[in-house]
């Protein structure tokens, strides 16, 4: 095909684009994934029985705050990285801030606690399944975001994949927190972070392979 003909064809096929189309596409992928993931959580794990009571306590909100802050920063970051000329800007280093706060909080609790309680604060009652469940609940969101990214134009594929994975992990964690009844900060700092990081690593790996265009 001659390039001139190509240009004519492309120019004939120009429909108005929506403003902020990148954010909308990513938001759609995230939302669809989150709906599926919430359904899986309710049907498979169930919402914690003492939800109403737990809502009155600080640790309950601490978990959501941690997951939500990572997710919000992750969304800001992926919205930039989904564009060809996108760089992380201030969001890049900022995404580690929630982790720093969480680790500080966990250390504070840990060192203030009697020694024989410390192990329990780190391991809780569900350390064997926590990270695994987060990975499972993040999977639908992961697919939603990757579907969105494939129609966008990231040029740093590993980084974009890692950020999309981290965002999916944080969103999956948010949903998992409705089920999980752990309340110690050290547990959250270790196992929630492991879950999110695992999905992030998976994203980095798959980003390179699947996000090419």
Partner 1 sequence: MVSSLAGDSAAYSTLLRRLNGHLRAYYLRRLGSGRAADAEDLLQETLIAMHARRSTYDTSRPFTAWVHAIARYKLIDHFRRTKRRAEDPLDDPDILFGSQDANAAEAQIDVDQLLRRLPEKTRRLIRDVKIDGLSTAEAAERHSMSESAVKVGVHRGLRALGAKIEDGGS
User: What residue ranges bind partner 1 (CB under 8 A)?
Assistant: 1, 3, 6-8, 10-18, 21-22, 25, 82-85, 151-153, 155, 212-213
- Least Å from the CB of residue 1 to partner 1: 7
- Least Å from the CB of residue 79 to partner 1: 9
- Least Å from the CB of residue 76 to partner 1: 13
What angle is formed at CA 74 by the lines to CA 68 and CA 80, rounded to 5 degrees? Answer: 145
How many Å apart are CA 150 and CA 131, to the nearest integer?
A: 27
CB-nearer residue toward partner 1: 118 or 208: 208
Q: Give the distance between the most distant pair of CA atoms in the chain.
A: 77
How many Å apart are CA 109 and CA 112, to the nearest integer?
A: 5
N residues, the chain: 213
How many Å apart are CA 25 and CA 79, to the nearest integer?
A: 10
How many Å apart are CA 198 and CA 137, to the nearest integer?
A: 12
- Least Å from the CB of residue 213 to partner 1: 7
- Least Å from the CB of residue 20 to partner 1: 9
CB-nearer residue toward partner 1: 48 or 150: 150
DSSP 84: T
CB-nearer residue toward partner 1: 18 or 114: 18
DSSP 1: -
CB-nearer residue toward partner 1: 14 or 55: 14
CB-nearer residue toward partner 1: 126 or 155: 155
């Amino acid at each position: 095909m001659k390039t001139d003909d190509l240009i004519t064809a492309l120019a004939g096929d120009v429909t108005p684009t929506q403003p902020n189309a990148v954010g909308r596409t990513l938001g759609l992928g995230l939302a669809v994934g989150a709906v599926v993931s919430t359904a899986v959580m309710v049907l498979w794990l169930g919402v914690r029985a003492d939800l109403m009571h737990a809502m009155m306590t600080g640790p309950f909100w601490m978990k959501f705050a941690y997951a939500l802050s990572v997710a919000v920063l992750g969304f800001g970051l992926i919205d930039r990285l989904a564009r060809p000329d996108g760089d992380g800007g201030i969001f890049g280093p900022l995404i580690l801030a929630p982790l720093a706060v969480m680790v500080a909080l966990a250390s504070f609790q840990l060192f203030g606690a009697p020694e024989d309680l410390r192990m329990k604060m780190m391991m809780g009652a569900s350390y064997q399944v926590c990270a695994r469940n987060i990975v499972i609940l993040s999977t639908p969101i992961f697919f939603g975001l990757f579907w969105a990214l494939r129609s966008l134009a990231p040029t740093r594929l590993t980084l974009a994949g890692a950020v999309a994975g981290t965002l999916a992990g944080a969103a999956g964690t948010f949903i998992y927190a409705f089920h999980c009844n752990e309340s110690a900060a050290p547990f959250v700092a270790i196992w929630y972070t492991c879950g999110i990081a695992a999905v992030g690593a998976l994203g980095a790996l798959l980003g390179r392979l699947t996000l090419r265009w």
